[in-house]
Every structure is written in structure tokens, then in C-alpha cells.
Amino acid sequence: MRILITGIAGFVGQYLYKYILENHPGVEIHGTILPHPEQNQFCSVNKEVVCHDCDIDNKMQVKKIIMAVKPDIIFHLAAQSYVSSSWENPELTLHTNIIGQSNLLEAVRQLRDESFDPVILIACSSEEYGPAKDGETPFKEESKLRPQSPYAISKIGQDFMGFQYWKSYGMKIIRIRAFNHTGPGRAAVFGLSNFAKKIAEIEAGKRKPELETRDLSAIRDFTDVRDMVRAYWLAVKKCQVGEVYNVCSGKGFSFQEMLDKLLSFAKVKAIKLIKDPRGIRPTDGGKIIGDNSKFQKATGWQVEIDFLNQTLLEMLNYWREVRF
């Protein structure tokens, strides 16, 4: 079996690759990377992966790789994944996420035949729903979509494009609306990892015992990335093509609660919280919690990792081991 993971050197891509390698030996894993030193380093270390230089925005590069690999399963993870960056450069976000996916689906559509008809998982997002109004949570797959960022718009584009290619061409596409997920190694541009990194720096004497915070009242549905990639694998094996599924814990934590938990693990106890001078973002606040019953019924998936007590501690430990 051949598997292609677009964006394999990214945070989720690396966890997915390792999960498949450890739990499904004998699978041939291919991945697309950008020709950057950090991503080249990933390929030099992880010899089990067949790496392919590919800019998802480049139609000919994408088609060439699909033609060469002819994968049985495609996990499409390559994307601009930072909500905040989508405000700064909406054109890049929309182009990479929507046109990039169009390049991939068109390549598969044009090359499909009796011997090549892959299952394709599209990683969509809970950001499509936007914060809930009174009584709306938990969100079900049929809930209204109210995108509140260019990133969310791009994910709706990916989501609906996947539906269209299944409906129009019969392609084997499964859409996953992944709610918030994180874990050890997450880039510090993401809030919880940023808090963990700064706490580790404070412990190491590299930073004053202060944390800048924005709105901590927002409630989000978080899952450990290791539970998430296990869900992705189950999705391509057990979910119905053409359908969309929420993958989430079904529980909501406020950022205040999660930060308090990180602070409880800190070796320095007198850490002061101060307001971030940049103020709030349009997407701050509100509640986004999902209903995972459709996905659980299809796959039997359950959350296995305690997010508050295990994931957050391991994120802090990761940064403690990094040399600043």
C-alpha cells in the first residue's frame, strides 16, 4: 500500500507518519515537502519516508508527483494553517488552501483509471463553524457555518470542494472537520505552545516572570494530536466517502483553565499575567465545542489522552528540553 501525505514535514504530518510507521508496518510512505532547510532535515533524518519537493500551488509539480507515486491513500495536510497569518496575508491563505487543493484533486481526477482511484482525506477545520450562538453547541456536521477569518473561509472552500469532486466525479473523498489539536513540538506561534515555551524560558531564567495574554475567556474543544492522527487513519479505513465528520473531544476548556493548568506545572510560581498590548483579535472569545457522535459511530474512535493533565505537561516538558 502506498500513502501520500502532503505537508508531511509539518506538525500533524510528522505525527501521522510516525503513527502509520509504528502501527502499520509494510506501508510505503511518501510525503511532499517544501525545499527548505528544516524540511530537508526532516527527510534526511526520517529515511523511511520517500520525500518529494513540491509546492502545492504549482499545478505541474503536483501532477508530476501524483503520476509518479500513484498512492492508494492521500492525506491532504499541506496548507497555510495559522489563523492569525490569514489576517496578515489573506491572499496567500486562500490561494494555498483552495487553489493548492484544486491542483491536487485535478491531478487525481485526470489520472484516475481502473488501477488508480485513491481515498483522499481532506483536513478541514472547526473554524468553519465560528463561535456559537446561545444553545448552538455542541456543533453537529449540519450546523450553520459562520466563518470569521480568511483561514476559516479557505477551509470552507476546501470542504465544499471535496464534496463537489465526490458528487461530480465520484472521487473517494472524506472530509474531516478537525477541532483544535496540539501536542509536544507544536510551533510557538500557536497560543498554548507559546505559553508553554515562555514558562520554560522563565524557569530557565531567560525571561522575566511575566506572560502577556489576550482574551482568556474563549472556550475551545482541544484534542491531543496523537489522538487526532489516529482518527485520520480510522477515517480513511471506515468512514463513508462523500461525508463530512467532526473529530473532537466533545469537551470545552477555556484558555484561562488551560493556562492555569500549565502554570500549575511551572517550577516558578509567581508568574504575573499582563495584557497583551496588541489587544484582541476578531476571532477571540466565544465557544466552539463539537459533537463527535457521527465519527464515533463510524469508527469507534475515542479520546485516549488526557489533554489537561498529559498533553499540556508534555508540551511544557518539550520546551524545557529545548536549548534557547
The residue among 273, 184, 194, 285 whose CA lies nearest residue 225 is 184
Write down the pLDDT at residue 284. 66
Domain with CATH 3.90.25.10 in the chain: 188-219+252-287+306-321
CATH of the domain spanning 188-219+252-287+306-321: 3.90.25.10
CATH architecture of 2-181+222-247: 3-Layer(aba) Sandwich (3.40)
Helix ranges (DSSP H) in 253-307? 255-265, 293-299
Domain with CATH 3.40.50.720 in the chain: 2-181+222-247
Q: Is the dihedral of CA 143, 149, 151, 153 positive or negative?
A: positive
Please write the tens of the pLDDT for every residue from 130-186: 988 887 889 999 999 999 999 999 999 999 999 999 999 999 999 999 999 999 999
Write down the pLDDT at residue 39. 85
State the DSSP H helix or E strand holding residue 168, giving kind and residue range, or none if neither: helix 150-169
| Contact present, 125 and 181 (Cβ < 8 Å) | no
Write down the pLDDT at residue 282. 62
Write down the pLDDT at residue 93. 96
Task: Provide φ and ψ at 60, rounded to 5°.
Answer: -70, -40
| Contact present, 54 and 33 (Cβ < 8 Å) | yes
Measure the CA–CA gap between 35 and 78, rounded to whole angstroms: 14
DSSP codes, 32-61: EE-S-HHHHHHHHH-TTEEEEE--TT-HHH
Ramachandran assignment for 109, one of left (phi > 0), alpha (psi -120 to 50 degrees), beta (any other): alpha
DSSP codes, 246-260: EES-S--EEHHHHHH
pTM of the model: 0.95
Low-confidence residues of the chain: pLDDT under 70: 277-285, 323-324
